Amino acid sequence: MNASSAPAPAADALLARISAAYPALSKQLKAIALHIEKNRDQVGIEGIQELARQCGVQPSAVVRFAQHFGFSGFSALQAVFRDDLARQLAPGRNYRSRIRDLIEAGPGKLSSTDIAREFLAGSVAGMQELQATLDPQSFDAAVDLLVRSETVWIVGARRAFPVAAYLEYALQHTGKRVCLVSGLGGMQLGQMRSVQAGDAVLAVSFAPYAAETLQVVQAAGARGAHTIALTDSRMSPIAESAQAVLVVQESATMGFRALSSTMGLAQSLFIALAYALELSHGGAAA
């Protein structure tokens, strides 16, 4: 591809190419790839010096990254994300800008209600971004895997554990055999001995990615199970071998990340599964 003569691909298509090439990239190029995926809105407006600084690399590495994916240089790659930024939903961006402005302005002591409102505004922004960026093919693939699996294993540690616990509760209403990999007593790998080929593993993990969750995914995969990853990057370790990857990036307010978007995605997955199962059992009107 010659970026100077061919139209730039859509941002989603470019991110898919980057994700596919990620395992073979050098350490520096991997750092750039992760930054671009998690900050796609900023890539369209920040300069090469700033991007390089945030990635901990030299500007020349950013140029090499762009050329690796067929662009003449950083500006040609940036144009893809600049066009993408122009199409994004404005309300979510407005909320985020207001939160950042509030923090940077340092208005003094905030009331408890002020803090609550800012956190809620951040959650709204995150939900709007998820709605705009949800990959329909990946979501449909995740639902299809759950429909076809008799047993669903669910794993999530630390910050991801509440999401895993909710999914266990919700999926019990579908008639599926559901098992929460609790890791009680450090016996999560022992639980994996009961995994059978064709089972589904719902794994929830965010950076810095729980080692226990990755171990479960790898052990289940070795026994022929399919993995559905709920994570913050297509390049996360639990996404590498997953058959369906659902990417969700939570908003951060005052240094704390919410779980509202991830919970919304988990609930959507359950409702879509319940709907599909009802249809398969003849619930739709003739």
Residue 67 belongs to domain with CATH number? 1.10.10.10
Res. 47: pLDDT tops 90: no
Q: Are residues 194 and 118 in the same domain?
A: no
The domain containing residue 57 runs over which residues? Answer: 11-87
What is the reported pLDDT for 98? 56
State the pLDDT confidence band at 250, using cuts at 50, 70 and 90: confident
Q: Are residues 15 and 44 in the same domain?
A: yes
- Structure letter (DSSP) for residue 283: -
User: Cα separation of 100 and 89, whole Å?
Assistant: 18
* Residues 197, 225 contacting (CB under 8 angstroms): yes
Q: Is residue 174 part of a domain?
A: yes
Q: Are residues 118 and 198 in the same domain?
A: no
Q: Are residues 204 and 249 in the same domain?
A: yes
Q: Is residue 276 part of a domain?
A: yes
* Residues 48, 77 contacting (CB under 8 angstroms): no
Q: Are residues 144 and 230 in the same domain?
A: yes
Q: What is the DSSP string of 91-139?
A: HHHHHHHHHHHHHHH--SPPPHHHHHHHHHHHHHHHHHHHHHH--HHHH
State the pLDDT confidence band at 227, using cuts at 50, 70 and 90: very high
Q: Which residue in 125, 122, 118, 120 sits closest to 90, CA to CA? A: 125
Res. 219: pLDDT tops 80: yes
pLDDT digit string (tens) for 110-129? 777 877 887 788 778 788 88
Q: Is residue 2 part of a domain?
A: no
Range with the lowest mean pLDDT among 28-42, 75-89, 175-189, 220-234?
75-89
Q: Are residues 141 and 242 in the same domain?
A: yes
Q: Which residue in 206, 204, 200, 224 sits closest to 143, CA to CA? A: 200
What is the reported pLDDT for 284? 46
Q: Is residue 207 part of a domain?
A: yes
What is the reported pLDDT for 96? 57
Q: Are residues 118 and 165 in the same domain?
A: no
State the pLDDT confidence band at 9, using cuts at 50, 70 and 90: very low
pTM of the model: 0.67
Instruction: Write the burial class of residue 268 (CB in 10 Å: 0-12 exposed, 13-18 middle, 19+ buried).
Output: middle
Whole-number mean pLDDT of the chain? Answer: 81
Q: Are residues 204 and 142 in the same domain?
A: yes
Beta strand pairing call for 252-253 and 256-257 = antiparallel
What is the reported pLDDT for 100? 60
What is the reported pLDDT for 255? 61
State the pLDDT confidence band at 221, using cuts at 50, 70 and 90: confident
